[in-house]
């Protein structure tokens, strides 16, 4: 049986590990050719190897999403290799958590640049091909932190910004048959949540247990929980879904 993303070409940013790696593998399992993009090309190799071993097609692309020239070159490289660009998942992200009074300008700028400027540059570069094709799917990675989270003034602001960015792109690009949506994960077990536990001085087990107590579905999320929703949003089964933010948080109330 052909996968539902057969012959589609996807770029997943921040795909060396965590949610991005799970998403790249899932899109490849659905038949897409996947550019695994991350800061360092060598770091992408594990994801690329896993996709190839499963019989899929993948390409490692080193690119800093904050840099317009690198982003343009990365998208060009993908189109030169596979002839089109159908799917962009803006997933690359970092945290620089601190309470406001301790937050440096650098903590603020870094987070804005990776999440917001990165999504802007990647989307602007990718839409050119998508508009020409009259076909495209963009998924931005927001977070439940967009609703407010102690110690994350920078990150919460960037993730809320991505929701406005998503709705605006859905309006501007809709006439070209391009769907733009966002996923907003809650507590997903990755290196990022491990770093968050470290910052508040808790063991990861303690941190996870405390989170699970507040999650009605009584478990932490896995990268695959997010990847599955992204795979739906970029498929033609979701072709009338655009401008939406899907929370993937086990029904955890925020705040
Ligand atoms: P992760 O494990 O830390 O992976 C993030 C990836 O992004 C890393 O491979 C990182 O590369 C890459 N990256 C960072 N800056 C980059 C840049 N300038 N250009 C290209 N790639 C860059 O994080 P994750 O938990 O999978 O998170 C993925 C996305 O989901 C992020 O946007 C995050 O904010 C969001 N999210 C996560 C959670 C959660 O609970 N984990 C919840 C809500 C939202 P390096 O390793 O080289 O730094």
Q: Which residues line ligand 1 (CB under 6 A)?
A: 13-14, 16-20, 38-40, 43, 64-66, 91-94, 114, 118, 141, 143, 185, 187-188, 190-193
CA 250 to centroid of ligand 1, rounded, Å:
20
Residues 165 and 98 occupy one common structural domain: yes
Domain range holding 69? 9-186+222-246
Distance CA(217)–CA(30), nearest Å, equals 27
Residues 139 and 242 occupy one common structural domain: yes
pLDDT value at residue 255? 56
Residues 193 and 182 occupy one common structural domain: no
Examine residue 227 and state whether it is found in any structural domain, yes or no: yes
Residues 214 and 105 occupy one common structural domain: no
pLDDT value at residue 2? 79
pLDDT value at residue 254? 72
pLDDT in tens, the chain (255 residues): 579 999 999 999 999 999 999 999 999 999 999 999 999 999 999 999 999 999 999 999 999 999 999 999 999 999 999 999 999 999 999 999 999 999 999 999 999 999 999 999 999 999 999 999 999 999 999 999 999 999 999 999 999 999 999 999 999 999 999 999 999 999 999 999 999 999 889 999 999 999 999 999 999 999 999 999 999 999 999 999 999 999 999 999 875
- For the entire predicted model, the pTM comes to 0.98
Examine residue 2 and state whether it is found in any structural domain, yes or no: no
The terminus-to-terminus CA distance of the chain in angstroms comes to 44
Residues 108 and 215 occupy one common structural domain: no
CA 47 to centroid of ligand 1, rounded, Å:
14
CA 163 to centroid of ligand 1, rounded, Å:
17
Q: What is the tally of structural domains in the chain?
A: 2
Q: Is 189 exposed, middle or buried (0-12, 13-18, 19+ CB in 10 A)?
A: middle
pLDDT value at residue 238? 98
Ligand 1 atom closest to Cα of residue 185: 43
Residues 102 and 140 occupy one common structural domain: yes
Q: What is the CATH number of the domain that holds 232?
A: 3.40.50.720
Q: Which one of 38, 159, 193 would you pick to mutate in the ligand 1 pocket, going by the greatest count of ligand atoms within 8 A of its CB?
A: 38
Examine residue 158 and state whether it is found in any structural domain, yes or no: yes
Residues 240 and 129 occupy one common structural domain: yes
∠ CA 112-65-39, rounded to 5°: 115
Residues 202 and 106 occupy one common structural domain: no
Examine residue 34 and state whether it is found in any structural domain, yes or no: yes
Whether residue 20 contacts residue 10, with contact meaning beta carbons closer than 8 Å, is answered with: no
Examine residue 251 and state whether it is found in any structural domain, yes or no: no
Examine residue 55 and state whether it is found in any structural domain, yes or no: yes
* Residue minimizing CA distance to atom 29 of ligand 1: 91
Residues 86 and 209 occupy one common structural domain: no
Residues 116 and 56 occupy one common structural domain: yes
Q: Which one of 93, 245, 249 would you pick to mutate in the ligand 1 pocket, going by the greatest count of ligand atoms within 8 A of its CB?
A: 93
Active-site position among 129, 135, 155, 247: 155
Question: Is 155 considered catalytic here?
Answer: yes
Residues 22 and 66 occupy one common structural domain: yes
Distance CA(239)–CA(236), nearest Å, equals 5
Residues 164 and 111 occupy one common structural domain: yes
CA 94 to centroid of ligand 1, rounded, Å:
5
């Amino acid at each position: 049986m052909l996968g539902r993303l057969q012959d589609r070409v996807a770029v997943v940013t921040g795909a060396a590990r965590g949610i991005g790696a799970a998403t790249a593998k899932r899109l490849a399992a659905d038949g897409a050719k996947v550019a695994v993009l991350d800061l360092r090309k060598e770091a992408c190799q594990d994801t690329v190897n896993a996709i190839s071993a499963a019989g899929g097609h993948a390409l490692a692309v080193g690119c800093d999403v904050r840099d317009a020239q690198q982003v343009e070159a990365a998208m060009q490289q993908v189109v030169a290799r596979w002839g089109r660009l159908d799917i962009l998942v803006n997933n690359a992200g970092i945290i620089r958590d601190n309470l406001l009074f301790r937050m440096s300008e650098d903590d603020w700028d870094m987070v804005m640049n990776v999440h917001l400027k990165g999504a802007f540059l990647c989307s602007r570069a990718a839409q050119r091909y998508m508009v020409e094709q009259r076909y495209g799917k963009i998924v931005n990675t927001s977070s439940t932190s967009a609703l407010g989270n102690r110690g994350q003034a920078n990150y919460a602001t960037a993730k809320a910004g991505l929701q406005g960015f998503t709705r605006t792109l859905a309006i501007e690009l809709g006439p070209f048959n391009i769907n733009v949506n966002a996923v907003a994960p809650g507590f997903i077990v990755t290196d990022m949540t491990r770093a968050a536990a470290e910052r508040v001085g808790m063991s990861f087990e303690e941190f996870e247990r405390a989170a699970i107590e507040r999650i009605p579905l009584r478990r932490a999320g896995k990268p695959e929980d997010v990847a599955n929703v992204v795979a739906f949003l970029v498929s033609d089964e979701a072709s009338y879904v655009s401008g939406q933010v899907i929370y993937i948080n086990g029904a955890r109330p925020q705040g």
